[in-house]
Chain A
Amino acid sequence: MNADRLIIMVTPFVLAQLAMLGFVFFMLLNSAAVMVYVERKVAARIQQRMGPWLVGPYGALQPLADIVKLMFKEELRPKAADSILFALAPVISAVAAFTAFSVVPFGTETTLFGLLDRPVPLQVADVNVAVLVVFAVTSMGVYGIVLAGWSSNSKYSLLGALRSSAQMISYELSYGMALASVLVLAGSLSLRDIVNAQAGSWLHVIPRWYLFLQPLGFFIFMTAGVAETNRAPFDFPEAEQELVAGYHTEYSSMSFAMFFMAEYINMVTVSAVATDLFLGGWHGPFLPEYLGWIWFLLKVSFLLFFYVWMRWTLPRYRYDQLMQFGWKVLLPLSVVNLLLTSAGVLYFG
């Protein structure tokens, strides 16, 4: 980045980048709504019942009904709650969730059917330390939870918040180590470069995904990602049965909606980053390169379905089992994975 001459002129390219920003934001909001529906429908089918089917065809307009309900609920606030922090916490969660997706590429360049003179990459910002930016913004998301628990001035919320943030910080280590193993293989921190290093296939049959070079790394990354987003089976801090919904007990209406949305968007971000790191991003057979975003969408959808499937199938870890697993099993595994990867890269060149 040339820091001396950052004069921005409004060209069609800049407008297209701003439009990309708006588009990604809009799609993330939609993805949260779709995830609400998918979760309820898949949960229902796993539990052998129907799920939402009254609102719209096959219940597809159910998220709309949910959003309308949440908007009209009364906004409650406990009297002794710290009002600045109480209002700030969901904002921090939501902002961190959206910002983390801003460096994730989801396709090759597009010229919008020839309207632009320069093709714009399908990404909000192409930073060459993209992987670290995702990691950094994810670690800022912890503050939303901690402040929510503290400012509610209620012991259930505080306990849930402290446990949740301790869990997130513990699993960030394994998350980072699994990321580091992929970095050793790819040799670059830019997500676009990592995806492009996975193009092509061996013997025209097996794609060159890092999933096949690093199955353990993928397992560690997904496990740590599930723990980071506080989803089952690691969702003890917000378990309904144990802690009266944990850190967002005292929230209602739009603030609750923001936490809810932040959790789903974090899931989408973890799935998208996992797709870029391990599943080859937008590369896939049968489709030309500029339609790669379809493959990206399919892969991310598969990972999200996997998330929902895990939630409604596996029992929940108890908190101390969760922390033991994170520190005593997952972290040593990720270190061993990193060492093996580095040794492999050194040996095989």
Chain B
Amino acid sequence: MASDLILFYAFGAIAVVATLLVIAQSNPIYSVLLLIASFMALAGLYVLLDAPFVAVTQIIVYAGAIMVLFLFVVMLLNAPREDALEASGSTEESTGARALGLVLAMAMAIELVWALNRTRILGFAFPEGRGGTSWSVAELGRILFGNYAFAFEATSILILIAMVGAITLAGRHLTEKRIPNPEPRITSPEPLIPSPESRIPSRSPWQA
């Protein structure tokens, strides 16, 4: 039995179970960690699909940077736990709307699977394509900087804008009031009777 089918089912099962647990968990830190597990399973699937560069990029960027950002925010906000399907502040209309959303999502999934099953071609087996090797990073780079150079530059400006936006939105200067200079301390009044020590010039005990 071809081992790639076993690997597909293994990675697919991990991805689905982890993702289900992401939305079912009440503790947000566990959600983030389970999502990282799901991303690793997806990276494994990308390797099965002959895309090792995208798999490693997914781990570096998604699982290694974006999820760290999520984790930091969850820890900073000390995100309160929340029951998975109830909330303090849900009203009648929101519960009904959410149930409708759940039904619609499941209906979409079932319709998609049904439509895919009805296609005639058996399984859409992957062609051997390029002798079974994957696109090398050099070729991908050539296409990325050649055909898609404009999109590449646009995404770099997008990242710059996101950075500026994040710093502006989450920075402290917008929400915290500036602390005014403290009042000058009231110094102790002059002693009425000058003490003997005040006439001796002060001398540091550390001097020779």
Do the two chains touch directly in the complex (Cβ atoms below 8 Å apart)? yes
A2 within 8 A of B: yes
* A142 contacts B68, C-beta separation under 8 Å: yes
Q: How far is the CA of A54 from the CA of B139 in the complex (A)?
A: 59
Which of A8, A136, A188 has most B Cβ within 10 Å? Answer: A136
- Interfacial residues of chain A within 158-175, with CB under 8 A of chain B in the complex: 158, 162, 165, 169
A140 with B59, Cβ < 8 A, contacts A4-B128, A162-B75 known? yes
* A132 contacts B57, C-beta separation under 8 Å: yes
Partner of A132, one of B7, B53, B63: B53
Which of B50, B64, B65, B71 has most A Cβ within 10 Å? Answer: B64
* A139 contacts B128, C-beta separation under 8 Å: no
Q: Which residues of B contact A2 (CB under 8 A)?
A: 132-133
- Interfacial residues of chain B within 1-20, with CB under 8 A of chain A in the complex: 2-4, 7
Q: How many residues of A contact B (CB 8 A)?
A: 30
List the A residue with the shortest CB-CB distance to B8. A3
- Interfacial residues of chain B within 53-100, with CB under 8 A of chain A in the complex: 53, 56-57, 59-60, 63-65, 68, 71-72, 75
Instruction: Determine how close the nearest CB of chain A comes to the CB of B165; give it in whole angstroms.
Output: 19
- Interfacial residues of chain A within 43-100, with CB under 8 A of chain B in the complex: 85
A132 with B56, Cβ < 8 A, contacts A4-B132, A142-B68, A150-B75 known? yes
A143 within 8 A of B: yes
List the A residue with the shortest CB-CB distance to B63. A140
How big is chain B's contact interface, by range?
A: 20 to 34
Q: How far is the CA of A93 from the CA of B49 in the complex (A)?
A: 29
Q: Which residues of B contact A150 (CB under 8 A)?
A: 29, 75
* A129 contacts B4, C-beta separation under 8 Å: no
Which of A3, A139, A150 has most B Cβ within 10 Å? Answer: A3
* B60 contacts A132, C-beta separation under 8 Å: yes
A7 within 8 A of B: yes
A1 within 8 A of B: yes
A222 within 8 A of B: no
* B72 contacts A142, C-beta separation under 8 Å: no
* A5 contacts B2, C-beta separation under 8 Å: yes
Q: How far is the CA of A128 from the CA of B56 in the complex (A)?
A: 11
Q: Which residues of A contact B57 (CB under 8 A)?
A: 132
* A3 contacts B75, C-beta separation under 8 Å: no
Q: How far is the CA of A143 from the CA of B29 in the complex (A)?
A: 12
List the B residue with the shortest CB-CB distance to A158. B75
B36 within 8 A of A: yes
* B49 contacts A139, C-beta separation under 8 Å: no
* A139 contacts B64, C-beta separation under 8 Å: yes
Partner of B36, one of A143, A165, A187: A143
Pairs A-B, 8 closest by C-beta atoms: A139-B64, A2-B132, A132-B56, A136-B59, A6-B3, A136-B60, A3-B4, A136-B56
Ordered by A's residue number, 11 sampled pairs between the chains whose C-beta atoms are within 8 Å are A5-B2, A6-B4, A8-B3, A128-B52, A129-B137, A132-B57, A133-B56, A136-B64, A139-B59, A147-B33, A187-B138
Interface residues of A (CB under 8 A from B): 1-8, 85, 127-129, 132-133, 135-136, 139-140, 142-143, 146-147, 150, 158, 162, 165, 169, 187-189
Known: A132-B57, A150-B75, A169-B65. 19 other contacts (CB 8 A): A3-B4, A4-B2, A4-B126, A6-B2, A127-B52, A132-B56, A135-B56, A136-B56, A136-B59, A139-B63, A140-B63, A142-B68, A143-B68, A146-B72, A162-B72, A165-B68, A165-B72, A187-B138, A189-B137
